[in-house]
Each structure stands twice: as structure tokens, then as C-alpha cells.
Chains A and B, each alone.
Chain A
Amino acid sequence: MIEIQDLTVRIGATEILKDLNLTIAANNWTCFVGPNGAGKTTLLKSILGSQSYAGSLKDDGVEVFNNHDRNVAFVPQHPQIPVGMSVTEYVMLGRAKRDGWGTESKESRALVVDTLKLTGLYGMQNQFITRLSGGEMQRALIARALVQQPELILLDEPTSALDLHHQIAVLNKIEILKEREVTIISTMHDITLAAMYADQIVVMKEGRILLSGASDVVVHSDQLKEAFENRINVFTLDSGRSVILPNK
């Protein structure tokens, strides 16, 4: 469980996050939504522990900043793609913390092979990572996160660069983590997809949290429309599923 109290993050003179208070349940999928500049990515980095902050941000009762004992996987929106590294080597980086940098244990090799098969990357394991397509790269990132066997995974816009087919494919892979009792926190600009997959949705705007709660409750709330300045409409399909579309 992650408990956030009076969290404020300043970068230079700008306050990116302002006095946030939030509790995120374990073994759940929580999704941050909101317009650009709402502070979603900064909140993810704060939860990762790499971003300094004022206030308190505790993961299972322990303050997270610079705490390297936790095992948290991070999937960035714009990864730096290393040159001269094969897909296997890239996924193997997920084991670096356990095995030590530059060494590979037998279990790690077996796990990496299994994970490559699971994510559909087996067969291109010796290719250079730079040669993967957008969808394959996203799966490589998920594969690396899977072999990390994290307690918590943070995903920054995991589907933003993908077509709908690959979006669903990647989101289904992320759901594998949920079965393994991993806490999932992601940002997502597509609220319809967020509502389909996430258990909890947190609506953010200008560094503040407007609303948080169970996905179906949040999707139908007025605060969601307010966050997007009433420029969205929420429709409910016969199946009970919600679809969020911009006003025309």
C-alpha cells in the first residue's frame, strides 16, 4: 500500500505537485488520468523514489525517496534505447539488481527465455534492440519489467505510441502482472482504456488531485468532465462499459 501525505514537488521555481494526499491499494491497477501538465509523470517518478519531494510518500510504511531496497519496475514513455544491445541483453537488465550488473544466473536465463516467449519476442532475441518496432519495443520493456519480478510496476503512458491492436496486446500483458499480485500504477491518456483495465482511477489537473476512486465511479463523475473543462462526454454501452469521447 502506498500512502501519500502532503506531497509537494518543486522543480526549479515551479510547483509541479501541490499538497497531494492519496492512498493506493496493493495488488490493484491504479491509473492516473488528466490533461498534459497535470503532474502524472512527476507523481510516478516520486513513487519510484528518484524524485525528491516535500511531505511524505510511504510504500508499506517506508519512505521511498532514494530507497534502493525496494524492487520497483519502471516503464518510461520515451525510453532511451541503447545502441549495440540485443533484445536478450536488454531484457536481462531486469535481472541486474538480483544477479549483479554484468552477470547472469542460470535462473535468470531460463526466466528471460520464458518471458520472451510470453511476450512474443522469442525468435528475435538476438536482434539489436534498436531494430524493434514501436509495439515490439513496448513488449521488450514489459518483458524487462516482468523478469524484474517487482512488487510494484510504474508505467508511463504504456500505450501512447501504439495502434489500438497493439494497445490491447500490451495492456493484456500488463494484466499478467496483476495475476502475479504486483501493484500496478500507470498513467494513461485514453480514459476509456483506463476505465476498462484499471481498478482505481485518479483524476489530476495542474498538480492537484481532483478525484480518486473506483474506476466506474470516477468515470461517471462531474469532476472528470471538469478536469477536461467539460470537453468530454461519457457514454455507457449496453454491456455496461463506459466510453469517453471528446465533445465535438
Chain B
Amino acid sequence: MIFEKRGNRELRSIWDWRITAVAALLLLIIGLLGISFGPINLRFDQIFKTILGLPNGLTDQERAVLIDLRLPRVLLAALVGGALATSGAVYQTVFRNPLADPYLLGAASGAGLGATIAITNAHGNLYGLLPVFAFCGAILAVLVGFFISGKFFAEPNSLLLSGIAVGSFATAVQTYLQQRHSASLRPVYSWILGELTAASWRVVTWSSIYILIALAILFAISKQLDGLMLTDEEAYSLGINPNQIRVIAVIAATLATATAVAASGLIGFVGIVVPHLVRGVSHRVTNRALSTIALVGAAFLVLADLGARTLLSPAELPIGVITAFVGAPFFLVVLRRKRMVNQ
């Protein structure tokens, strides 16, 4: 959308499935790189041999690294990236705001507060419940945002604004808790910047259930999302109930976001960078690009995680640092070009 100056070319010559196929291939290659590289490098041929059960595969130690560390971590990164990018694209359509992202509804700050409560509680006995607390915080923040904005979508921006207010409040409480419990400052800080180090098959299992349900819902209604780009009256006359679609879309996108945040902390900018990049390249409105956005989001985060693991190896960078490093400049470009979109 922001690269629209090239807009006069033959649109129909670009086939959606080709772009999607390229994105899937990209995810596959980057996924393989993500599995292969790290403090211990695993060779591609040995990875294949091990997975296919052929002889001359990895040693037992390497095998453990592959199965218990790399695979769940890459899978979780892909799930989280796909979830954040898809919900970002959906939020942007629902709120008719190219800068809307999964974090603007207060979901992220709510999750942050929930996690901080879990981490900073007196005896550390809530630490294991961190995902649950983050999840509850996110859902609660979005509900409060809904409640404050009153008429849900009478004016879509009111929900965004109340989301920002709720988010600021949650962040304030979170900061207060952090200062009071300065002993646990570091774990909170590292969780906030996002990390996939905690990835295990258990985390992958529960987060994949929620994320796949949410994505299935979003893909099912993705075609009607086009209608939300019109006025409500036009959408109504073309056969959809705009508010119903918005409620379903926001609930599903928030579920995906909250799960992603609970599993991996606050990883910003994926929800903005990826949708804009894909739409810019594919010249497509949201719904036709949604599957591509999900795949590219997954690939982007696997790549960012690879960077987080290897750039300062053996130390790890928080993945949020990598995504923000790429995302923040991109965000500014989008902001600058937003005028064009509004014209």
C-alpha cells in the first residue's frame, strides 16, 4: 500500500499463490537455517538423516540439541511471528489505521503487568504461572478498553485511544511493582524485551492450540474484512454485518496476540513491519495477502531469533531488540508516508 506509486501495472498478472508459495519456501529455508545454526552447528544432511531415521545422523548430544532445544524454539518463533503479523494486519484493517498493531489495544501492557505480578510476587511461587498471568492481563486490558470506549465501533479510533490509555495505566502499575521488587528487576526486564529461550514442547503445544484456533477464525472471516474498509452503510448494503465481523476479528486477533505474548514476552514491531512489507510487495488488500503475511511473519521471527542467538554468541540478545532495530526505522517510514495513504 505504501509503494503505491507503481500502481498502474497490471494487477491481475500477479498471482496470489505464487507470492504465497515463495513465502512458504522462505519460511522453510529460514526454518532450516534456524534449526542448523547456534552455539553448536548442526549439518543439514545430518539433520535430514536424523529426522528420516537414516544412519550416520547426529550424535546423541546433537540429537538432544535438535529435538529438545532447536526444534521447539524455531516452531515457537514461527507460531509467534505468524500470530503477531496476522493480528497486526487484521487490527490495521479493523481500525482503518495503518499504524494499529497488536500492542496498541493495551494487550501487550496488560500481559506485561500480569507477568510482572507473577515474577515479582514475594516467594517466587507464581513464576511457573507466568503465561497464565500474562494471558489474563492481556484479555483483561482489552476488555477494559472495550468497556471504556463504550459503543464498541461507533468510532473505531475510540477503542484505539482507550487501549492506549489502559496500556499506559498497566505500564505505570508494572513499573511501580518493578521498583518495589528491585531484586526481580532483571527477569522482568528480560521477559519484557522478549525471549524464546523458554521454548519447550510444552509451551509449543499450548500456544499452538490457541494460535491455530485464532488464525483459523481470522482466515475464515478474512474475505469479509474487505468490507470493513468501506463505510458501515456500504458494508451493510453489500451483505455483511460490520460490527459483528469487527468483534470476531478483534477477539481472535487478541487471543493470538495474548498467546504470543504469554509464550515469548513482548516482541514488538512484527505486527507492523510484516503486513506493510507484504502488502507493499504484493499490491494486495489485506484479505488476499493474509496467508502470505502469516508465513512471512513466521519467517521474520525465526530469522530475528537466529540473529538473537548468533550475533553475540554465546550470549543471547533479546529478540525484541532485533525486531525493534529493524522495526523502528520502518515504522518511521510508514509514519512519513501515511499522508499519502490518507489522500
Contacts and interface: CB of A to CB of B under 8 A. Distances in A.
Q: Do A and B come from one complex?
A: yes
Interface size class of A (residues with CB under 8 A): 20 to 34
Contacts of A122: none
A66 to B, nearest CB: 8
A93 B10 contact: no
Interface stretch (A16-24, A84-92, A192-200, A226-234): A84-92
A79 interface: yes
A86 B11 contact: yes
A93 B285 contact: no
Nearest to A98: B239
Interface in B84-123: 96, 98
Contact of B237 (A74, A84, A88, A130): A74
Contacts, number: 94
A128 B223 contact: no
A206 B230 CA distance: 28
Contacts of B68: none
A130 B4 contact: yes
Interface string B267-284: 000000000000100011
B316 interface: no
A76 interface: yes
Given A50-B232, A83-B1, A102 B287 contact: yes
Contacts of A82: 226, 229-230, 285
A84 B230 contact: no
Residue among B231, B283, B341 with the most chain A CB within 10 A?
Answer: B231
Contacts of B7: 127-128, 131
Contact of A102 (B226, B230, B231): B226
B12 A126 contact: yes
B208 to A, nearest CB: 26
B231 A79 contact: yes
Given A82-B230, A82-B285, A93 B238 contact: yes
Interface residues of B, number: 36
A148 B234 CA distance: 12
Interface string B227-250: 101111110111111000000000
B96 A80 contact: yes
Residue among B232, B234, B240 with the most chain A CB within 10 A?
Answer: B234
A130 B287 CA distance: 18
A220 interface: no
A111 interface: no
A50 B236 contact: yes
Given A79-B230, A85-B285, A128-B4, A96 B237 contact: no
Interface string A96-122: 110011100000000000000000000
Contacts of A101: 223-224, 226-227, 239-240
B56 interface: no
A76 B233 contact: yes
Contacts of B224: 101
A68 interface: yes
A117 to B, nearest CB: 18
Nearest to B12: A126
Interface in B296-343: 341, 343
B236 A49 contact: yes
A126 B238 contact: no
B229 A48 contact: no
Interface in A18-32: none
Contact of A93 (B227, B233, B288): B227
12 contacts: A76-B234, A80-B230, A83-B1, A83-B341, A84-B4, A84-B283, A85-B229, A93-B230, A96-B226, A97-B238, A101-B223, A101-B224
Given A68-B241, A96-B238, A97-B239, 13 more contacts: A48-B237, A49-B236, A50-B232, A50-B237, A76-B233, A83-B285, A88-B11, A93-B230, A97-B238, A128-B4, A128-B7, A130-B4, A131-B7
9 shortest A-B CB distances, which residue pairs? A102-B223, A97-B239, A82-B229, A101-B223, A74-B237, A50-B236, A128-B7, A84-B285, A84-B1
